Structure 1
Amino acid sequence: MPSGSAVWTERLEAAAAWRRTQGLWRERNTLQPELLDFAGNDYLGLKDDPRLAEAQATAVRRFGAGAGASHLVSGHLEVHEALERRLAALVGRPRALLFSTGYMANLGTLQALCDSDTLLFQDRLNHASLLDGAALTGARSRRFHHRDLDDLERLLSRAPAEAAKLVASDGVFSMDGDVADIGGLATVSARHGAWLMIDDAHGIGILGAHGDGCVGHAHGIEHVPVLVGTLGKALGTGGAFVAGSEALIEHLIQFARAYVYTTAQPPGVAAASLAALDVLAAEPERRQQLRDNIHYFRHEAALLGLPLGDSFTPIQPLVLGEGRQVMHWAARLREAGLLVGAIRPPTVPNGEARLRITLRASHPRESLDRLLEALARLYEEDAA
């Protein structure tokens, strides 16, 4: 009989071998400064803004490098309190609550709201953190077809009227770049007495009248009682928040284990996020430049015959189908000094492997042209 150590070695080796034979092995690539980054989520180009760096450094000198404890012990600092107030104002909610990551925000919120008596309905293409959060809760979970309100209506109509029901959806879908029908989801949810939870991670900062996302003020708390956003994408820093009513936030403070049992966000990161919100308010031209870049890229890609997905957000998927083809294209682009996301199952469904191209306000036109030309060459080679 193999020893315990040998059993685990065999398990790890078998898992690695299976993933390698399927062409799904993942590797970390250290970003090289000479590469043009079309893979990250720094949509407004704030990550490298010196004002954010200075705000972070100032806060570190004042508060220290870390918070030192959880929010409920001694780690909740005035910079955290200020950031929560600003985030609540951004999205038009009474309160907001900081989490260390978007993944933890979704896990913590679902775990705190749901139990085995809850009925949970999710879009099939929701982010992994929402799907994993559902599994953690023990709730009875059903997944409706992507952006299909009729399917959601069908599932909800079968649920007992007295049951606690929660509908959860991405706002902007991270692999496709398309946007949920927030108004439609709110209407269907309300008709069946369900709460609606939207993860607007990829909408905050770029969509909405003032960067308040695809939910924000346009869909108030009565339509979307639970709103999640992240700070590590368009705002260029890190962490996440949940926004909603006084009762919701107090409930999460009491029962969200991913909030209660973790060290608070480093104060320097919170200060940098406050600076990012200042830039967001003062420089709307960044959002306009991003929209211009998206329009230009899509227009030129259409002229070249590149089969982009239907997205008006910075996320521009180029679905190639096979994982090996995606990895080949990504490697060729890297050789040309261009970094794009190479996305394969299980992140996306089988047969839908893709290049996930992300655009920034800070991408100059010549960089967009360089990427377009390289993609066109690869497309022509495959067609030959």
Structure 2
Amino acid sequence: MNWMEKELELLAEDSLERFLRDSAPVPECPGYTVRGERLLLNLASNDYLGLAQHPAIIETMREMLLTEGGGSGASRLVTGNRPPYGRLEEALATWQNSEAALVFANGYMANSGVIRALMGRGDVVFSDQFNHASIVDGIVLSRAEHARYRHNDKDHLKLLMNKHRDKRRKLIVTDAIFSMDGDQARLRELVELKCEYGAMLMVDEAHSGGIYGERGEGLCYELGLHNEVDIHMGTFSKSFGVYGAYVCGSRNLIRWLINKARPLIYSTALPPSLVAGVSTALDLVKVDYWRRERLFSASRLFRSSLCEAGFNVINGDSPIVPVIIGENEKTLRFSHALEGEGIAAVAIRPPTVPEGTARIRFSLSAAHTDKELIDAAALIRKIGLQLGVLSA
């Protein structure tokens, strides 16, 4: 296996090798993390609504641990389908105004499992080029043709749909908010093309669920398009502050997935305590509208501060605020310098993003105060000047 060492050396030379680093939450300091013995402002987490350390979620999970135990012991189709699952799925269906819902272990399993269950040889999946890796891998596993369209390019998508209009089944799949750019999919255009070409539409609300919509239902709800989406997917690992994923849709869709989605069929069910914790998180997401208001206010403040400083910031209104640096090595140095100033922010490099677009992906939380973000923006500007990312 000597080839691994050689390939790893090449990754290191290109500043592309990745490492695992320990981090720990700070319950008494929301919006912060600890690395080593250092307290860092956490601008890298997806805990958008600041729920990960919420005492009500923790207490629900603690109580369920005492009655249900540590694990489920089997897949859901064997003996792992504990009562908390049914309660959560009923609440999810009501929340999304759909006929039924199904909980998966995580977003990767949901996306890869759903696409593979629905599509196969002779079918075609139209996928935005900036979609999450789990969507791409689901298409590969399905053996359907992968028609990747340029990011948010309706004309290119229409060209591809014309080319493949005679395929047996057609599926358009997109992130609602793109995880590395923080911008929105043009969902109205996708609905139009779905109707025109008789395709199914699947939307991944991983980075928009909990944030958009009156009760956090997501971007589809915010735009009034939820009834036009055939497969609605979201996660519990970001705004909900817990873990897992869900799919909402028709009763027949959920019946089909129970019978055909391999990650669901062949995986041990989530621990009942975790599923119960998600139910409590869902209750909080629905009623704590102030968290969404605070998050959008923080996002506007931080984004405008970085733009005024002169950084190359991708447009958007989400809590994902990417600053494009370009060079891998310089982006790594930027991330290390930020940590030296007390800020946790990760360097995102290829293949996660296209070549030449390495970036610092800042990710905000409702737990951050205006002062913390203003002070952070000043430090980020100082480092940008020091590294030559900004000119004086």
TM-score, normalised via structure 1 length = 0.95
Deviations 1:118-149 (A, max 9, x none): 11110000000000111111111110000011
Match of 2:18 among 26, 29, 45: 26
**Hey, what's the Cα distance between the residues in 2 that align with 1:316 and 1:227?**
25
Q: Which amino acid aligns with 1:187?
A: E
Contact 2:172 2:200 in 1 (8 A): yes
SS at match of 1:306: coil
SS at match of 1:234: coil
State the match for 1:87 in structure 2: 92
Match of 1:378 among 364, 376, 383: 383
TM-fit CA distance, 1:162: 5.5
**Hey, what's the Cα distance between the residues in 2 that align with 1:216 and 1:118?**
28
State the match for 1:36 in structure 2: 41
Deviations 1:265-309 (A, max 9, x none): 111111111111111122111110011101111222232222211
Deviations 1:52-98 (A, max 9, x none): 10011011111111111111001111111111111122222111111
SS at match of 1:167: strand
Q: Equivalences for 1:234-383 in 2 at 5 Å?
A: 234-381=239-386, 382=388, 383=391
Match of 2:226 among 220, 223, 227: 220
**Hey, what's the Cα distance between the residues in 2 that align with 1:361 and 1:298?**
15
Pick closer, same or farther for the CA change 1:162–1:174 going to 2, 3 Å. closer
**Hey, what's the Cα distance between the residues in 2 that align with 1:342 and 1:206?**
24
Q: Equivalences for 1:157-168 in 2 at 5 Å?
A: 157-161=162-166, 163-168=168-173
SS at match of 2:229: coil
**Hey, what's the Cα distance between the residues in 2 that align with 1:353 and 1:312?**
21
Deviations 1:98-124 (A, max 9, x none): 100100000100110011111111000
Match of 2:6 among 3, 10, 14: 14
Q: Which amino acid aligns with 1:288?
A: E
State the match for 1:3 in structure 2: none
TM-fit CA distance, 1:181: 1.2
State the match for 1:119 in structure 2: 124
SS at match of 1:215: helix
Contact 1:92 1:216 in 2 (8 A): no
Contact 1:109 1:256 in 2 (8 A): yes
TM-fit CA distance, 1:38: 0.5
Contact 2:80 2:268 in 1 (8 A): yes
State how many pairs are aligned: 375
Structure 2 gaps, min length 5: 24-32
TM-score, normalised via structure 2 length = 0.93
Percent identity of paired positions between Structure 1 and Structure 2:
35
